[in-house]
Structure 1
């Protein structure tokens, strides 16, 4: 997944999208989520898993241009 694709994701994504961003296979991703060992926090909403996109950005070191600008000013 490119930087632009990562930055265009909604606030939370399904586990398949998070798996793709982290280059984790589907089966492995779901196994990790079920065991509570996924690399970022996973929210369980009924039968669905969701991942907060900001956590993916932090893990992958992806920042928007605005965030990069603020970091350089600090």
Structure 2
């Protein structure tokens, strides 16, 4: 049995994310698998900032957008 890969997120989906997302949403946007995402988060190697909240991880969307090159520029 093989695990089905999650469907990659579109730019529109990423742009409509809330201020903070769970680790798996961020991993989907970055096309990182579940096991790798959790391993990177535990080791401090996830591509964008990750915040440990209770027993889980949260990812500020601003950092995710920055890594994806989609941050909005003002000024």
> Shorter chain as normaliser: what TM range?
0.7 to 0.9
Residue aligning to 1:62? 70
Q: How does 1:1-74 map to 2 (within 5 A)?
A: 1-64=9-72, 67=73, 70=74
Give the Å deviation of 1:63: 3.9
How does the TM-score come out when normalised to structure 2? Answer: 0.82
RCO higher in 1 or 2 (8 Å CA, sep ≥ 6)? 1
The 3-state SS of whatever aligns with 1:19 is helix
Q: Unpaired segments of 5 or more residues in structure 2?
A: 1-8
What SS does structure 2 have at the residue aligned with 1:18? helix
The structure with the larger Rg is 1
Question: Which structure features the higher share of helix residues?
Answer: 1
Q: Superposition RMSD on alpha carbons, in Å?
A: 1.3
